[in-house]
Structure 1
Amino acid sequence: MTFRLSTDGPRTAMLLAAGEGRRMMPLTADCPKPLLKVGGQAMLDRSLDRLQEVGVEKVIVNACYLGDQIAAHLAPRQQPVVEIIHEKTPLETGGGVKGALPLLGADGFFVINGDSLWVDGIKNTLQRVAAAWDDATMDVLLLMQPLARVFGSVQRGDYMMSPDGRLTRRAERQVAGFCYIGVSILHPRLFADCPAGAFSLNVLYDRAEAAGRLFGIAHDGLWYHVSRPEDLAHANGMFARGHEPETPYF
């Protein structure tokens, strides 16, 4: 029996799994990065399990690089329902989500990077994100990790966050106090008049910031920035010493 938490949050989600993972070479030469394992489980499966826990019913996964491996890996999975979009050419994060919009519904939906690796704090992370979402004031809600609690190769952070949660992207030479960790809720209206073809979600984040509709919530647990082979080795070492997703951060 699968334990499922109650939530009023999104019922659909997008998992981004189309990238090449070039910084993870040579490990990704013959394996998509989301299928690399931490603690004996593929990172992609960890995210799917957490989405299932909070009641997400349908997940769209985009695949391009070694996409057949992604499809074969997910074929046996029954919950949540997984639908794969095969991209003939890479559409980047923004183009990938835009292509999935007809399948994601009219309300806010989760977007999770296929290599996101986090450990819940005192409360379930996705429940916290869902509870913080305000449809009236937000187009984007990003899960942010305080820079001081980052495991992995991160130096400057991504955003400054005000007391009310509004985010401001750091300037080129600035150091920001928070890193975006690849977990978010987006609303479909964010994609109105968006670019055609391949583009980054950062384009839309900047647009939302300019409109005052880009917000963040601070993660109260652990996050592993798994970018390079040494990061993956470090994460596996940490998990082997007991930093499993069920272990709270204090």
Structure 2
Amino acid sequence: MLLAAGRGERMRPLTDTIPKPLLMVRGLPLLQWHLQALHEAGVDQVVINTAWLGAQISDHFLSVFGLQRLSDKRKQLSISYSHEGADFGDALETAGGIARALPQLGPVFWLAAGDVFAPDFVFDGAAVSAFIASGHLAHLWLVPNPGHNARGDFGLSADGLALNLPADDPSPRYTYSTIALLRAELFAPPWCDIPAGNPAGIKAPLAPLLRRAMDNGRVSAQVYTGRWTDVGTPERLAELNLTSSNVP
């Protein structure tokens, strides 16, 4: 699932007429970097949630990505949409949006935010297999803390568990990259009370679910050190595009 429903307030005025996932980063719409990586990894289905100017996203990417020859189905990445804005008038936040899309997702699925640039990240099938075997509810990729989130989000134990550290705990923290493997079970009781499909359009963030699962030792994590940018401001977008010549 790719998250593309946010308003992008900090990116205004750029996002007044263009949804943030369609802003150009190094010659491509930002969301396309994830789609390309998923396609190259052999993923064959993706769900994109939308709200603000969501029709532009579905009009741009349509229902198929990367189809080279009609006779070669291996080249096809099928795209479906969860149009939160059209259904409820606004975005449902991350957990609410995932719950809404849950009937379109499998028991285990990738999650990535459409406003993050991570051109080195590989949606590795081996990571999926390891996650399924682990029994964990989530596996997070954490990154070294950027300047705009110097305190970080979660700790990491020596045996690879994500930690919900108390506010006064001085242990090192890392920033959640917004890339994860998730189990659909995380969006059911006792972790989440939103009915599958979220028919009422309940808004809910993801972090409380993750923290609850961490407190029960059900979330693993690893540090990702590849290129990563939360494209949250016009300045960060401009910086990425100024250094486009450094990208192969």
Local SS of the residue matching 1:65: coil
* One-letter identity of the residue aligned with 1:125: V
User: In 2, distance between residues paired with 1:61 and 1:76?
Assistant: 10
Corresponding residue of 2:122: 125
- The two structures have a TM-score, normalised by structure 2, of 0.83
Identity %: 35
Corresponding residue of 1:47: 34
Q: CA deviation at 1:85?
A: 1.2
Local SS of the residue matching 1:141: strand
User: In 2, distance between residues paired with 1:115 and 1:129?
Assistant: 23
Corresponding residue of 1:115: 115
Name the CA shift for 1:30/1:179 in 2 (closer, same or farther; >3 Å).
Answer: same
Any conservation in 1 of the 2:3–2:48 contact (CA below 8 Å)? yes
Aligned pairs (5 A) from 1:216-235: 216-235=221-240
Any conservation in 1 of the 2:141–2:224 contact (CA below 8 Å)? yes
* One-letter identity of the residue aligned with 2:117: L
**Residue in structure 1 matching 2:213, options 194, 200, 208:** 208
- The two structures have a TM-score, normalised by structure 1, of 0.82
**Residue in structure 2 matching 1:23, options 2, 10, 13:** 10
Name the CA shift for 1:118/1:109 in 2 (closer, same or farther; >3 Å).
Answer: same
Gaps of 5+ in 1: 1-13
* One-letter identity of the residue aligned with 1:157: G
Local SS of the residue matching 2:134: coil
Local SS of the residue matching 2:59: helix
Corresponding residue of 2:174: 178
User: Which one has a bigger Cα radius of gyration?
Assistant: 2
Corresponding residue of 1:144: 142
Corresponding residue of 2:185: 189
Any conservation in 1 of the 2:163–2:215 contact (CA below 8 Å)? no
Local SS of the residue matching 1:184: strand
**Normalized per residue, which structure has more helix?**
2
User: In 2, distance between residues paired with 1:64 and 1:233?
Assistant: 25
- Cα RMSD for the two superposed structures: 2.0
Q: CA deviation at 1:136?
A: 3.3
Local SS of the residue matching 2:116: coil
Q: CA deviation at 1:225?
A: 2.0
Q: Deviations over 1:66-121 (max 9, x none)?
A: 11111111117443100011112321100111111111123x1001101121132x
Aligned residue pairs, count: 223
Any conservation in 2 of the 1:132–1:217 contact (CA below 8 Å)? no
> Is residue 2:153 matched to residue 1:155?
no
Aligned pairs (5 A) from 1:37-116: 37-75=24-62, 77-78=64-65, 79-87=76-84, 88=88, 89-106=90-107, 108-116=108-116
Any conservation in 2 of the 1:154–1:225 contact (CA below 8 Å)? no
Q: CA deviation at 1:131?
A: 5.6
Local SS of the residue matching 1:28: helix
Any conservation in 2 of the 1:129–1:143 contact (CA below 8 Å)? no
Gaps of 5+ in 2: 66-75, 195-201
Local SS of the residue matching 1:23: helix
* One-letter identity of the residue aligned with 2:122: T
